[in-house]
Amino acid sequence: MEEILNEIELIREAKSGNEHAVFDLIEKYKLYVKTISRQYFLTGGEQDDLIQEGMIGLNKAIYSFNLNGNANFKTFAKMCIRRKIQTAVKSANRQKHKPLNDYVFIAFNESEEDEELGLVIPSQNLDPEQQFINKQQHEKIDYILTNTLSKFEKRVLQKYLQGYSYGEIATMLDKGIKSIDNALLRIKKKLLEVQ
User: Pick from 48, 49, 10, 1: which is nearest to 29 by CA?
Assistant: 10
Higher-scoring residue by pLDDT: 98, 170: 170
CA distances from 177 to 138, 139, 158, 169 (A): 30, 31, 16, 8
| Whether pLDDT at 121 is above 60 | no
Stretch 36-62: mean pLDDT, rounded?
A: 85
| Whether pLDDT at 170 is above 80 | yes
Q: Which residues contact 67 (CB under 8 A, 6 or more apart)?
A: 8, 11, 12, 15
Number of helical (H) and strand (E) elements in the chain, helices listed first: 9, 2
pLDDT of 186 reads: 87
What is the pairing mode between strands 104-108 and 117-120?
A: antiparallel
Residue 174: Cβ-neighbour burial (10 angstroms; 0-12, 13-18, 19+): exposed
Q: What is the CATH number of domain 2-93?
A: 1.10.1740.10
Per-residue model confidence as pLDDT tens digits over 15-29: 888 888 888 998 999
Residue 141: Cβ-neighbour burial (10 angstroms; 0-12, 13-18, 19+): buried
The answer to pTM > 0.85 is no
CA distances from 172 to 46, 159, 194 (A): 26, 9, 30
User: Pick from 109, 112, 115: which is nearest to 154 by CA?
Assistant: 115
Q: Does domain 95-192 have CATH number 1.10.10.10?
A: yes
Residue 30: Cβ-neighbour burial (10 angstroms; 0-12, 13-18, 19+): middle
Lowest-pLDDT range, 9-18, 37-46, 76-85, 167-176? Answer: 37-46
The full set of domain ranges for the chain reads 2-93, 95-192
